[in-house]
Amino acid sequence: ERSLRVLDGAVGVFCAKGGALLILQKNPASETPVFSNGIPVTTAKNHGIGVQSVIYYVEKEHGQYQFYMEGEDFVVRIIL
């Protein structure tokens, strides 16, 4: 099921003038996640590791990230 959900999603990578890189990832969500300060949180064991990895890398590269729902899609927006 997990791999099918990824196939239903969309990824966009865009390069803006000045060299900024925008990465946009959308995946259908079966449930609306709980957000705390704009970050999706979970109490499930061994979940949320991907979100923490994204945050770590983007902050390390002095970029920006945003997590949000758009209709029934979970969206991650990254600018580097």
- pLDDT tens, per residue, the chain with 80 residues: 333 344 567 888 888 878 899 999 999 988 888 999 999 998 778 777 889 999 999 999 999 999 999 999 999 999 99
Burial of 9-42, coded b for 16+ CB within 10 Å and e otherwise, reads eeeeeeeeeeeeeebebbbebeeeeeeeeebbee
Domains observed in the chain: 2-79 (3.30.565.10)
- At a CB cut-off of 8 Å and minimum separation 6, what does 17 contact? none
Cα distances (angstroms) measured from residue 58 to each of 14, 23, 45, 74: 16, 11, 24, 18
Quote the pLDDT of residue 2. Answer: 38
Radius of gyration of the CA atoms of the chain, in A: 13
